Structure 1
């Protein structure tokens, strides 16, 4: 007859719960105990059955992962990082995505689709309403947010404000004095939403340098290539004197580069462009960017939710750093004016 978990527990001199935690690699088991349990399990030929463990504990060994989309760089990389980390611990992922309706708004999160199906929940890059958060918490499982944080939930995120300040300061240090900003959707108004903090960082850097901050220097791009392309055209039309732009994502930044080429302007000779992300395709257009570790954020959040399931009290927030990667899309401004898409000359930038 095959040995069971009770046999391993008796032989190792520990509880069955400790055997389960040790063999699954969960925290709160010291190294010596974990090794003793593994050695005894191997001697007795015991192999843990995930289905049996789930039945015995009432656990599903599945984590719900809520994301508005999977086909954008940030979301796909975070999801991949979380999925790999969870799989390595014997957990599955139940992916919950839903349609974004543009101007009509998004579909609201329905927590009931996760009821009795998951042991914890991750929410990627989606600022939720307070009642949506409350509904998820009512499931009785740990909740971790990635890329945003609100209503006091455990969060893994960038320091969006500092990242934006550093990106804008890079342009200021190059000598640019009229610097635009492409942000996300006009609907991004939650105080903990990344676009809000990135806009605030852009404003803070310009104000700190005594430079102009005006509403016609900021446009909304919707966090995709098409939106970045359209918004860059609007920005240049409204402010043909702009010589640099800080863009809140690499996909929008690549759209901005395309728009400038459409207008017959050269990057960086006429307009410099800097983004945020570290997108895999950024190198193809020589995009200067603030690189963020997206897969690592997913893995960190996955570990947090597993720790919470195991009873570990997590830190309220993990803030991950970004790093400036300078490529060919940024350079000092030209001293002569550049042609406007409307045909009017652009005043030359002052010497610095």
Structure 2
């Protein structure tokens, strides 16, 4: 493989200085049309590609946006967020850098070293409740910060989120209109119990709805992924209740579908004996016939990316803090409440 052409090679071939090459390739003024054409032809012949690192030295911009994600990078929500961000950045010539804080060590390392300071023009933070020290560290970067699904937005110049609490209230209310009176909530597992990832507004909405609509809370269960057979344990807990719920609201589609699989293996008819509502309305929810609360994660990511680019380019945000609406999507996993003693 031959040596990659440099800006010096292009300058030599075009008979100009490297400074003139840089200006011509970036389409800056004060370069004669004939000179610009000569530079472009030389660059094309040599197959020269200007590096973003070199361009950053001149423009002060890296043409990159950093994304800080907690938990799994490959989870449905985080994956859709990345797709939405990439949809926007790729059309504007920006790259996406992804940082994961999926463990205590990763989270601590990120905020101690702050690699985004040298590598990006803005940072998008997903589903974090920052400590005071972390807030100060991010703000010290002196770059635009966009928050996605954050309870507080004090540390950011823009944010995008859904109202998890209201969405769960609407899910419980929908099930109650089908005649359900006894409910349980299947909660997520917190991968970092020593850290706060934000208030669990979905369970808060669930509890508020139970009280508001005069319903019965049969208990909150947790899908504890730290152990073996978490869905089997959750199903066993439901089946052992003296008075079982007739409706269950799950923190996510994956939690709901795992539970449904275990309940069906135990002979429980869904939804004839027990209705289950997921959250996200992901692809697997549609395939599995799961009723769910729909949140447009890809659109949320795109909205956040547009905000980041506007701030990078000095454009004021007309709608700095955007609230995205959710929707109940009824499918096969919910139905009228059974007649129970």
> Shorter-normalised TM-score: what interval?
0.7 to 0.9
Show the counterpart of 2:17: none
Gaps of 5+ in 2: 1-13, 15-20, 44-48
Change (3 A) 1:295 1:252: same
Show the counterpart of 1:144: 146
Mapped to 2, the partners of 1:182 and 1:252 lie a distance apart of 7
Mapped to 1, the partners of 2:235 and 2:140 lie a distance apart of 43
Mapped to 2, the partners of 1:170 and 1:272 lie a distance apart of 11
Where do residues 208-287 of structure 1 align in structure 2 (5 Å cutoff)? 208-213=212-217, 217-221=219-223, 227-238=230-241, 240-287=243-290
Mapped to 1, the partners of 2:145 and 2:284 lie a distance apart of 32
Give the structure-1-normalised TM-score: 0.75
SS for the counterpart of 2:256 is helix
CA shift digits 1:286-312 (9 cap, x unpaired): 100011101111111111111111223
- Superposition RMSD on alpha carbons, in Å? 3.2
Show the counterpart of 2:172: 168
Change (3 A) 1:178 1:299: same
Change (3 A) 1:64 1:257: same
Match of 1:89 among 89, 92, 99: 92
Gaps of 5+ in 1: 12-40, 336-347
Change (3 A) 1:126 1:227: farther
Task: Report deviation, 1:126.
Answer: 3.4
Show the counterpart of 1:341: none
Pair 1:71-2:94 in alignment: no
Match of 1:80 among 79, 83, 86: 83
**Which range moves more in the overlay, 150-159 or 227-236?**
227-236
SS for the counterpart of 2:240 is helix
Match of 2:292 among 285, 289, 293: 289
Aligned residues: 299
Give the structure-2-normalised TM-score: 0.77
